Chain A
Amino acid sequence: MLAIRHVSKRFGGLRALRDVNIEAERSCVTGLIGPNGAGKSTLMNVISGFIGADEGSVTVDEAETIGLPPHRMCASGVVRTFQNLQMFSDMSTVEVVVMGRTRHRRASLAANLLMTPAVRHEERDAFLAAQDLLVRMDVPESFWLRRAGDLPYGFQRRVEIARALATEPAYLLLDEPAAGLNDKESSALGETLRKIADGGIGVVLIEHDIDLVMNVSARVFVMDAGTVIASGTPSEVRSNPDVVAAYLGEEHD
């Protein structure tokens, strides 16, 4: 379980997060919604180690991760994508996904410089794993050797998820993966997320697209003004009056 307990964060006078408690189980999708400025992205940055928390703990399968530098997070089993695409644009698509294999590679610096057979073997395995993931994410083979930055936007999003999956995470945090996608692409993404969760990964989905969240999530948390105001199954959340007032109400006026 990915457990966020009593996490608070201030930026000067702004209380960005106030006593946030969220839990995400493996093998299912956990939704996190809330209006702009609710603190979703701040929470994401705290979990992934880019900013520290003032109080509280984040545990990944019981192991505390607060205070770890961000580059150690993927070894603890947490990986994320970004709200605005963070691509290695100048690399080929398959190379981008291979980068996700970094933590699984053991060969030393010297072996790498000498390109020993062990390194070549490792390299080939990483490429095969990357190709597998690209197939799973429905990225057509004709894109694999193209410069990643030149792919259509929707495909770059999928490559970003494939790269995250390449680290073999226990928990995958997705920050607005449906932003900029059309309805059809968005429902295809929902399908994919379900499949990822079925594979045993805990997916945490931060999204503005309420329909997507409600369709795929087993449990939904709603944040407003830096704190969690409701949680439960999608239908419980939908009928919660606080949620309707804080968030859904604005949309259905």
Chain B
Amino acid sequence: MFQQVVISGITVGAIYALIAIGFTIVFSTVRVVNFAHGEFVMVGGLLYAWLTIVQQIPLALAIPLAIAACVVVAWLSYELCLAGMNKDNHIAQVMVTLGLGVTIKGLAQVFIGKDTQFPPSFSSGSPLMLGSMSISQQSIWIVGSLAVLLGLLWAVMQKTRIGKGMRAVAINHYAAVLMGISPKRAAIIAFVFAGLIGGAAGALLSPVASAHYDNGMFLGIKGFAAAILGGLGHPIGALVGGLILGLVESLTAGYLSSAYKDAVSLVLLLAILLFRPQGLLGRALPNKL
């Protein structure tokens, strides 16, 4: 029982971590908490479901298509809504992301539909048996994708000029700008990465948790909680926060009652905000000019 609970906790936690990365990457580069991010995840899942179930497109094509659409949604979100705004007016920017979230949700409802959909797993086959534990194929896809995407993101951030430029913007916006790094370009790349990883999270999640146009806010809150828990703006924080949140929820559901699952995770979030607002791994907030 315990092992099974842990496996499900890791699977859920991996999803939360994937969502949290999107919050973190946008927050560190653009200094905005993008509350529309949950909708990017929803769009990834819903499009994957719609493409496979309604359009009957093969999986190998539907997955990249859904993710690519998410990238476009994320890029347009920045370009049309945030790019022209005064970047020092954080409240206005956050309100815009909330409005954007509602808009994306509305568009999804109108154009894709209100039905809850159950798309197929990425691979069909019997669960993997490890002793007495059974691990579903989709769980392996989810955890494997998290590892691959995190590894790729790390390589891009540490090894390439693009990634170093984004890190420079995140560490010190003013100095980065003086070195000729365009903050707008860094922001676009951040949103593209958020769309890519968010869309992948949505597609990975939907075979396990179904796809529905109204899921975005809930997914966003869980991802945001994971990002805060680990330390918003900290890349490994998203991973740690996501896994802890997933495990706590899974243990609560397994040993207490699934009714308390969300309550326990939100209490955990409250405790972090009260006692360690920079998150488990975060350092104190960066200085301003």
Contact = CB atoms under 8 A, between A and B. Distances in A.
Do chains A and B stick together as partners?
A: yes
B178 A79 contact: yes
Contacts of B159: 115
Given A82-B174, A86-B174, A75 B161 contact: no
A87 B175 contact: yes
Nearest to B183: A71
B223 to A, nearest CB: 24
A82 B289 contact: yes
Interface stretch (A10-18, A99-107, A182-190, A233-241): A99-107
B68 interface: no
Interface string A171-190: 00000000000000000000
Chain A interface bracket (under 10, 10 to 19, 20 to 34, 35 or more): 35 or more
B162 A113 contact: yes
Given A112-B162, A113-B162, A87 B172 contact: yes
Report which residue of B160, B165, B289 has the largest number of chain A beta carbons within 10 angstroms of its beta carbon. Answer: B160
A51 to B, nearest CB: 11
Nearest to A86: B175
B171 A167 contact: no
Summarize B's interface: helix, strand, loop or mixed. Answer: helix
Contact of B161 (A73, A88, A102): A102
Interface in B151-166: 156, 159-162, 164-165
Given A82-B289, A90-B167, A90-B171, A103 B160 contact: no
B180 A71 contact: yes
A82 to B, nearest CB: 7
A207 B183 CA distance: 29
Interface residues of B, number: 23
A198 B178 CA distance: 23
B6 interface: no
A71 B175 CA distance: 10
B161 A80 contact: no
A109 B177 CA distance: 18
Contacts of B178: 48, 70-71, 73-74, 79-80, 164
A123 B178 CA distance: 20
A234 to B, nearest CB: 29
Interface of B: 156, 159-162, 164-165, 167-168, 171-172, 174-183, 287, 289
11 contacts: A70-B178, A73-B178, A73-B180, A80-B178, A84-B287, A86-B175, A91-B168, A99-B179, A103-B179, A103-B180, A109-B162
Given A105-B161, A119-B160, 7 more contacts: A72-B180, A99-B164, A100-B179, A102-B165, A115-B159, A123-B161, A164-B178
